[in-house]
Amino acid sequence: PAVTDNCGGFTIARTDAGPANGSSFACGSYTINFTATDSVGLQSRCAFTITVVDIDIPVIACPANITAVRGDDNACSTNVTFVEPVGTGACATTTNRTRGLAPGSRFNVGSTVQEYTVTDIWGNSAK
């Protein structure tokens, strides 16, 4: 920040614990604080906010299609286990099953569509 003082001789100090000037800031908001002190101890403070947003769509990779064979119990269903996909993005993400059954559930004979959605903290999402 720019500082002027009629007495001359002053110092400027950054007083927050945020990332250093010129470094990489992760997603989120940061308040940057400075204090200017003149030669007789008078102070002035200023602050501004840096907000880093993510506009990239997160990514989710689903496993290949699964073919399960029903068991010998003559039931028209079988338990199917699989690893649920996990989405990734530049910022924090959550992945939710939005359609279908949980791993280990009993699936009926036929096709069952499994759908997952990954959403980041800025609301960007992908299926």
Task: Write out pLDDT tens, residues 104-118.
Answer: 999 999 999 999 999
Contact between 107 and 114 (Cβ < 8 Å): no
pLDDT band at 3; cut points 50, 70, 90? confident
The pLDDT, as a whole number, for residue 6 is 80
- Whether the CA torsion 61, 65, 71, 75 is positive or negative: it is positive
Q: Is the pTM of this model over 0.75?
A: no
Give the rounded percent of residues in the chain with a pLDDT score beyond 90.
Answer: 64
Give me the chain's average pLDDT, please.
91
